[in-house]
Structure 1
Amino acid sequence: MSSLRHLRQCHPAGIAISHYHTSSRALSKQSYKVLVLGGGSGGIAMSARLKRMVGAENVAVVEPSEMHYYQPIWTLVGAGAKTLASSGRSTSSIMPSGVKWVKSKVEEINPETNTVRTDDGSEISYEYLIVALGLQLHFEKIKGLPEGFGHPKIGSNYSVETVDKTWKALQDFKEGNAVFTFPNTPVKCAGAPQKIMYLSDAFLRKFSAPKTGKRAKANVIYNTSLPVLFGIKKYADTLWDIVKTRDLQVNLRHNLIEVRADKQEAVFENLDKPGETKVFEYEMLHVTPPMGPSLVIKGGPLADEVGWLDVNKETLQHNKYPNVFGIGDCTNLPTAKTGAAVAAQSAILGRTISRILKNQIPDKKYDGYTSCPLVTSYNTVVLAEFDYNAQPLETFPINQAKERRLMYYMKADVMPHLYWHGLLRGLWGGPGPYRKLMHLGMK
């Protein structure tokens, strides 16, 4: 239970657990040309790119966590297809060589004075600031959590401390309701809450007899706060067909508000009828927690009215402070919060900053590209790719709304390699250039 208390704390995207450095964190150098806040995917990618632009000695990254996790693979970890150990590497091993790693937590950002204060009282000044602080997980906003994770039958693929609990609950499933949730907030990787539903269904079918096994005794239920199954119609149509074919129950506009783990009950509010609730008994429960802006940004001078980092959606430059930039889940960019989006943003932001360093006007625009590999079984994926206008922006010259084995292997094996050896080294900026080749220059 002591480890579960950490779930009340919130961690940046791409980072799972904070183990604070015990030695002195006094800085020999208090000023940097480029200061990067956050050592998740966006922060590391940008520090690698800026190292090549201004020199490693002029770049610093503020990040308290000793471990860095490739979180997109946790969908497969929760379903037993990958191990948790395979998703993590030490922060020291992925930090660009020569770049200063400040093992502290950001406490306050002061853009008027170009300074950042850390939790050990240090003040760091900068010429240019890149904010990559991710978002916050809020399990505590659901009554009965996070303490409910101390009971069996409940897990979440969104935390390093609970993803293995998902796999344990799936393995231990006997009969009854398998319930999967989507909260009434923005989330990172918005397809993940239903991916684990499809995988759980596939697991129960694969490892049990068709008529007498576990799947025949299971009610697989997806309760989502959204009014749709998926936001892009082309892919939603395919997913609805899968739902009907596999006898999966989808309840729209149902938001999880309480977990009674001792009774194995989950309470949902009907968002179309406020105050009306329904109790679901469960044999397995997967919780996607409410999420929100980084508390360091929210309410501060860099935030929009909701609390997200306020940046230009095309250049990723802050709308008020021209020497401040943002990337990834912490921003108010009107696109899905995914690792693929970070990759595409990193290429645009790198170009934006390189132009500004030369006193030139940014000439490349981010089109909102993001991707969501919708895992529908242990060997198939629907590869959704789209832009700001919620229009498909597909890399391959085939119909990506179809379930394909090739896309599963891309998700499970190719994408992790691109992440560790491409994105984090500042060498992978998304599939944009390859899309044009694939489509003979037509996209």
Structure 2
Amino acid sequence: MSAPKPSSRHHEVIIVGGGTAGITVAARLRRAGVDDIAVVEPSANHYYQPLWTLVGGGRATASASMRPEAKVIPGGVTWVREAAAEVDPDAQTVTTASGEVLHYGHLVMAPGNQLDFDKVAGLTETLGRNGVSSNYRYDLAPRTWDFIRDLSGGTALFTMPAGPVKCAGAPQKIAYLAADWWRTRHVLDDIRIILVLPTAAMFSQPDWAKVLVGIAADYGIEVRRESQLVEVDGDAKRAVISDAATGTKDTIDYDVLHATPPQSAPDWVKGSPLADPASPFGYVQVDQYTLQSPNWPNVFALGDVANLPTSKTGAAIRKQAPVVVANLLAAMRGGTPEGRYDGYTSCPLVTARNRMLLAEFDYDLKPAPSIPFIDTMKPRYDMWLLKRYGLPAMYWHLMLHGRM
């Protein structure tokens, strides 16, 4: 007896990914009157990931960042609780991990990116122990705080990989949170802090980069530019740092290591026709202004999976989602794109346990402030309150409901 063929069904709009980007677009489409929407997402839980930096810095609990996925799926939207495994834009199908074939009229790609811890030799094997952690995972962020809280002397290493990552400021934000904690405990002078960056500058936007240079210097942080972590020996508590400028490698004995993993598109996306041939990381090719595929007009992408020349942040998604919805609705009517994304992104840069500055800029790296009459280049307590309480509230109650 032959095995039954995988089932097949059709939806007017299929959204791959039930994270920030996918849920925000689904909510906006429902508000626009689109009835037949499916979200393909395997996870039982939904996370507000920007809070994980504060979890690692001892300023928030991990549980505050989580809600059941079922609670954030908009009413009237079909939840396909599976992982996507393949997309065929010519046949207009998405195939799930179980083999179910979903047909679509229009497709929104929002599966996020994947964390490639295994690209650093020895890193995966020692995560969560031997002083090694990463705020880029829900289960590891509390371990970051354990290691930071208990350190009273030695060497603390904070690293960032080459290539695009979620919130490019996060790798150094945790260094500032840790340094401020150690200062309050009067042990900062006993700790050597090394911040490893793959870039020549502290930050992509030059105005805020200058501010961050001063903040790092105030804490006595040693900044290694154009360098990255390439190997970890967890049992020996040693890390190897490669200097791209000189071609040399330096072995450092550490007590605490916070590692930001290399990141890329999910493997199944890399191997799909939607992957941008110009992206070494396999991100989806879209027009940077319309967020529409140049080859398949009924396909859109946003968020971390889209190959766009801007930082991958939740604030960027907040500006991308209405553009995707406007242009998808126009495509459904047979019209031309009506929305335009200017590259706006925002990075709330926590510089101490109760201070933050807010970097906002566009594709041209021009400052694009959204809060009038406030100097967001200066670390402020009111900005810290926005980060800790205001932004999460706006996320859960407005953004995910399509109201922001």
Name the TM-score, length of structure 1 as normaliser.
0.87
Is 2:298–2:328's contact at 8 Å kept on the other side of the alignment? no
- Partner letter of residue 228 of structure 2? N
Q: Of the candidates 126, 143, 148, which is equivalent to residue 165 of structure 1? A: 143
Matched, 1:78 2:56: yes
1:136-285 equivalences under 5 Å are 136-206=114-184, 208-209=185-186, 214-274=187-247, 276-285=248-257
Residues 62, 104 of structure 1: 8 Å contact kept: yes
Corresponding residue for 2:21? 42
Letter in 2 for 1:408: W
Q: 2:11 aligns with which of 32, 47, 55?
A: 32
Q: Distance in 1 between matches of 2:100 and 2:325?
A: 28
Check conservation: 2:331, 2:337, Cα contact below 8 A.
yes
Contact 1:152 1:169 in 2 (8 A): no
Residue correspondence of structure 1 range 29-428 to structure 2 within 5 A: 30-56=9-35, 58-206=36-184, 208-209=185-186, 214-274=187-247, 276-305=248-277, 306=279, 307-397=282-372, 398-428=374-404
Q: Following the alignment from structure 1 to structure 2, what is the Cα–Cα distance between the partners of residues 425 and 310? A: 27
Distance 2:62 2:246 in 1: 40
Distance 1:151 1:369 in 2: 38
Gaps of 5+ in 1: 1-25, 429-443
Amino acid at match of 1:32: H
Task: Between 252-261 and 146-155, report the one with greater CA deviation.
Answer: 146-155
Q: State how many pairs are aligned.
A: 395
For 2:127 and 2:308, the matched residues in 1 are separated by: 32
1:52 shift after superposition: 2.7
How far apart in 2 are the matches of 1:101 and 1:266? 43
Could you tell me which amino acid in structure 2 is paired with residue 327 of structure 1? L
Distance 1:402 1:271 in 2: 32
* Displaced runs of 4 or more, over 6 A: none
8 Å CA contact 2:304–2:313 kept in 1: the answer is: yes
Residue identity in the other structure for 1:205: R
* Distance across 2 between alignment mates of 1:122 and 1:242: 52
Q: Which amino acid aligns with 2:23?
A: I
Q: Deviation of residue 399 (structure 1)?
A: 2.5
Letter of the 2:365 counterpart: A
**Residues 174, 283 of structure 1: 8 Å contact kept:** no
Deviation at 1:161, TM superposition (A): 2.2
Provide Cα deviations, 1:207-246, integer angstroms capped at 9, x if missing partner: x23xxxx212111110111111111111011111112222
1:59 is displaced (CA, Å) by 0.5
Query: What letter matches 1:126 in structure 2?
Result: Y
- The answer to which of 237-246 and 316-325 deviates more is 237-246
The separation in 2 between residues aligned to 1:283 and 1:173, in whole angstroms, is: 8
How far apart, in 2, do the equivalents of 1:345 and 1:293 lie? 18
1:355 Cα deviation after fit: 2.1
Q: Aligned equivalents of 2:339 and 2:102: distance in 1?
A: 30
What's 1:15 paired with? Answer: none
SS at match of 1:81: coil
Distance 1:324 1:85 in 2: 35
Alpha-carbon distance in 2 for matches of 1:233, 1:120: 47
In 2, are the aligned partners of 1:178 and 1:218 still within 8 Å (CA)? yes
Shift of 1:54: 4.2
The alpha carbon displacement at 1:422 in A equals: 1.2
TM-score w.r.t. length of structure 2 = 0.95
Q: Give the root-mean-square deviation of aligned CA atoms.
A: 1.3
**1:311-359 alpha-carbon deviations (Å, 9 max, x no partner):** 0111111110000001100001111000000000011111112222222
